Structure 1
Amino acid sequence: MTSSIDTPLGLGDEARQLSLLIQSVTDYAIYMLDAEGHVRSWNSGGERIKGYSPQEVIGLHFSRFYLPEDVEAGLPAKGLAAARQHGKYEAEGWRLRKDGRRFRASIVIDPIWQGDELIGFAKITRDITQSYEAGLRLQEAQHALVQSQKIEAVGKLTFGLAHDFNNLLTVIINSLELLARRSGGDARITQLVDTAMQAADHGALLTRQLLSFARGQRLIADRNNVNDLLMRSMELYRRTCGPNVTFKTQLQPDLPLVEVDAAQFEACLMNLVANSRDAMPCGGQVTIATRLIQRARPDVADATLQPFVCVEVADNGSGIAPELVERVMEPFFTTKEVGKGSGLGLSQVFGFAAQSGGFATIGSVVGQGTVVRICLSPVGG
């Protein structure tokens, strides 16, 4: 006599065990489709991931889980056709839950054959939203790190060059001042010296901008309200825009104080307003806005949200091509025509923001405009 423990399981027992196994899996939606793609079975994983009970979903076409644009593109039918032709179909994409929310899915479709007849498909779906988003954050952090290292390397080179150039300018300016004293009132010599001095002063301005980008500019930081700083120079910004550009402000009241060099802050805003004006030769609108925002630092991996006082200058000008947006912060890089810009304005803004303990960002859409934001940590924030 054979004991029950040694008795082979019957087909009914195997079917029940298989059903229990599939129903016990909650991390995967495992279900069967008929040959046309209608749901014929549904496990607890499908209910957990997609939100449908078996009574709600059995009999429906599985295209219900796809985004409308994917259905219109025929992706559900293409998946079944690929599984039928190749014996398996694997893909990753966005799918819909019952409540309309999207989730990132990894899916596998296997054909089920009975002899030479296709009787349906086995479909497995896994929710990979968290790992997908974590991967995107890692890519963004790696990209930010590479960009930060690149800018740091350029900054070190720029710092050395700016100091050497500044030393040369000091000798030139001192020599010009001596020549001016010994000109003996000769109008021609005086004119030549004045022209040379203007060029030297322009060179000194360039070195200050380079040092600002390289974070070597000496800042005199004090506690300031950015709205007060903006109001103090608002008329200057308005005149910088010129007659063809509408100038607007959107200043959030009661912003916390920030520690910032007022003169350098105003110089940065002048650069941004002038850039916006130049991007709209036929007219447009420049808006200066302030607000308190919560965001993570883009230059720090896995940074947490924290408060920043944000000052932004936006225009509705020509915009910047996507492949050029990240380069505009580099010194001497400019999207303007030759002779119409030194390429130091935005690099100065980014350098000033970093040296002030914050950061700057730029966003642009070709044909729609550009917005540059200077984000500064509030005092005590």
Structure 2
Amino acid sequence: MAVGGPSLRGLDDEARQLALLIGSVTDYAIYMLDPDGYIRSWNPGGERIKGYTDREIVGQHFSRFYTPEDVVKGEPQRGLQCARTEGKFEAEGWRLRKDGTRFRASVVIDPIWHDGELIGFAKVTRDVTERYEAQLRLQDAQKALVQSQKLEAIGKLTLGLAHDFNNLLTVIVNSLDLINLQHAQDARTGEWVEAAQRAADRGALLTRQLLAFARGQNLAPEVHDVNHLLASSAELYRRACGPSIQCAFELGEDMPQLEVDATQFEAAVLNLVANSRDALAGGGTITVRTRKVRRAPPDMPDAEPRDYLAIEVIDNGEGMSADTVERAAEPFFTTKDIGRGSGLGLSQVYGFVAQSGGFVLLRSAPGQGTTVGMHLPARTECNDG
């Protein structure tokens, strides 16, 4: 006597085998459409992925799974037409669940023919949201890494130039001091020397900004309350905004301390406020916001997340294009008119934050304003011991 014979006889029927197979699949939505796109069958995978039971969905048009914008564009009909004329339709896009949430779907539609007549379509849908989001994270990380490497290379070049330039300035300034002593009674010479000294001072400032970008400046970090640092300089930031721009502060509560060079921190925030001010030629609002975030650095998304203090300067200006955002931190790159800026303000911010162990996130789009966030490591209890 064959063991288990009676229980296996049902599998001799090919149609029953197919029904059992499809009914056992939960990772894929597998169902049949009639020639007009109405659903004629449903499997447990369809219910798991899309949220509908067979009683709710059989007899409904499959276009209800598409986003409204895709329905307007005629994507459901295009899929059926491509399957009919080309023998198969494959695509990836956003689809809707019963609860209205969106998921990334990989879709295959095959036509079903019988005696030369189209009797319907076989449709298979797979939820690939996790894979899609992982690809986006990987692309963002690769982009951040390339940007970091580019700025690192520029920084090394800048560091060497800044030191050489500083040495030249030292000789110039010393020579001017000697000339000034020898011609103390010569008013004309004194005017020339004074003009040259002003230019040398401006060159010294330029050198300091270059060193800040190249992470070659000497920082003197101390433990500070970030909200107190901002509040103590609030009037300075308001004056920098000018009369036509409102400067608001949104300071988070229970913020941990951070270890930072207070002078360079103030200079960095002031640079960000000044950039936002220049983007608001017709007036507007600049908001300085603090909050605690837990995340990994953008160029190392798989690293262990840690706490950062995000100090964000937000404006409601015109925003920047993607190309401008990508180049914004480069030294001497500026969208301002000639004479209105050296193009080193944001470079100084990037260099200071990187030297302080953090990173900068810049978010902007045309018509949507700009947010620049300095993310500095939060001081933990381990730092105190």
- TM-score norm. by structure 2 comes to 0.93
Aligned to 1:174: 174
Aligned to 1:252: 252
| CA drift at 1:10 | 10
| CA drift at 1:319 | 2.0
Aligned to 1:147: 147
Query: CA 1:12 to 1:38, structure 2 compared with 1: closer, same or farther past 3 Å?
Result: farther
Aligned to 1:41: 41
| CA drift at 1:81 | 0.8
Query: CA 1:254 to 1:52, structure 2 compared with 1: closer, same or farther past 3 Å?
Result: closer
Question: Structure 2: which 5+ runs fail to align?
Answer: none
| CA drift at 1:116 | 2.3
* Rounded Cα–Cα distance in structure 2 between residues aligned with 1:11 and 1:263: 79
Query: CA 1:68 to 1:368, structure 2 compared with 1: closer, same or farther past 3 Å?
Result: closer
Aligned to 1:183: 183
Q: Secondary structure, in 3 states, of the residue corresponding to 2:327?
A: coil
| CA drift at 1:11 | 10
* Rounded Cα–Cα distance in structure 1 between residues aligned with 2:107 and 2:222: 57
Q: Secondary structure, in 3 states, of the residue corresponding to 1:165?
A: helix
Aligned to 1:129: 129
| CA drift at 1:137 | 1.0
Aligned to 2:28: 28
Per-residue displacement from partner, 1:136-166 (whole Å, max 9, x unpaired)?
1111111111111111111111111111111
Q: Secondary structure, in 3 states, of the residue corresponding to 1:206?
A: helix
| CA drift at 1:71 | 1.4
* Rounded Cα–Cα distance in structure 2 between residues aligned with 1:352 and 1:364: 21
Answering whether residue 108 of structure 2 is matched by residue 108 of structure 1, we say yes
Question: Structure 1: which 5+ runs fail to align?
Answer: none
Per-residue displacement from partner, 1:178-224 (whole Å, max 9, x unpaired)?
11111132111111111111111111111111111111111011011
| CA drift at 1:12 | 6.9
- TM-score norm. by structure 1 comes to 0.94
Query: CA 1:65 to 1:368, structure 2 compared with 1: closer, same or farther past 3 Å?
Result: closer
| CA drift at 1:239 | 1.2
Query: CA 1:18 to 1:216, structure 2 compared with 1: closer, same or farther past 3 Å?
Result: same
* Rounded Cα–Cα distance in structure 1 between residues aligned with 2:349 and 2:31: 56
Q: Which stretch shifts more, 242-251 or 194-203?
A: 242-251
Query: CA 1:178 to 1:295, structure 2 compared with 1: closer, same or farther past 3 Å?
Result: same
* Amino acid paired to 2:270: M
Q: Secondary structure, in 3 states, of the residue corresponding to 1:326?
A: helix
Would the aligned equivalents of 1:112 and 1:121 in 2 still touch at CA under 8 Å? yes
Q: Which stretch shifts more, 329-338 or 22-31?
A: 22-31
* Amino acid paired to 1:306: R
Aligned to 2:72: 72
How big is the alpha-carbon RMSD for the aligned residues of Structure 1 and Structure 2?
A: 1.8
Query: CA 1:156 to 1:11, structure 2 compared with 1: closer, same or farther past 3 Å?
Result: closer
Aligned to 2:356: 356
Would the aligned equivalents of 1:141 and 1:302 in 2 still touch at CA under 8 Å? no
* Rounded Cα–Cα distance in structure 2 between residues aligned with 1:146 and 1:320: 20
Would the aligned equivalents of 2:106 and 2:126 in 1 still touch at CA under 8 Å? yes
Aligned to 1:119: 119
Answering whether residue 316 of structure 2 is matched by residue 316 of structure 1, we say yes
Q: Secondary structure, in 3 states, of the residue corresponding to 2:183?
A: coil
Aligned to 1:242: 242
Q: Secondary structure, in 3 states, of the residue corresponding to 2:168?
A: helix
| CA drift at 1:369 | 2.1
Q: Which stretch shifts more, 310-319 or 299-308?
A: 299-308
Q: Percent identity, please.
A: 63
Per-residue displacement from partner, 1:74-133 (whole Å, max 9, x unpaired)?
111111011111111111111112222211111111111112211101111111111111
Would the aligned equivalents of 1:227 and 1:251 in 2 still touch at CA under 8 Å? yes
* Rounded Cα–Cα distance in structure 1 between residues aligned with 2:171 and 2:102: 66
Q: Secondary structure, in 3 states, of the residue corresponding to 1:85?
A: helix
Q: For this pair of structures, how many residues does the alignment match?
A: 375
